[in-house]
Amino acid sequence: MSPETVSQIAIIDGSLHLVLTTEGQDWHQFIYREARSVYWDADRRSFKCSTSIPGLPFQAILPHMIQVISDFGITLSFEWSLTFADVPDDATMVMRDQIKQYSSR
Q: Where residue 23 sits, what CATH number does that domain have? A: 2.20.20.40
pLDDT of residue 105: 72
Number of domains the chain contains:
1
Buried/exposed 26-58: b ≥16 CB within 10 Å, e otherwise: eebeebeeeebbbbbbeebbbbbbebeeeeeee
Residue 87 clears pLDDT 90, i.e. is over it: yes
pTM: 0.94
pLDDT of residue 66: 96
Name residue 85's beta-bridge partners: 10
Residue 96 belongs to domain spanning: 2-103
Walk across the sheet containing 38-41 and list its strands: 38-41, 46-50, 15-20, 2-12, 74-85
The tens digit of pLDDT for each residue in 31-77 reads 999 889 999 999 999 999 999 988 889 999 999 999 999 999 999 99
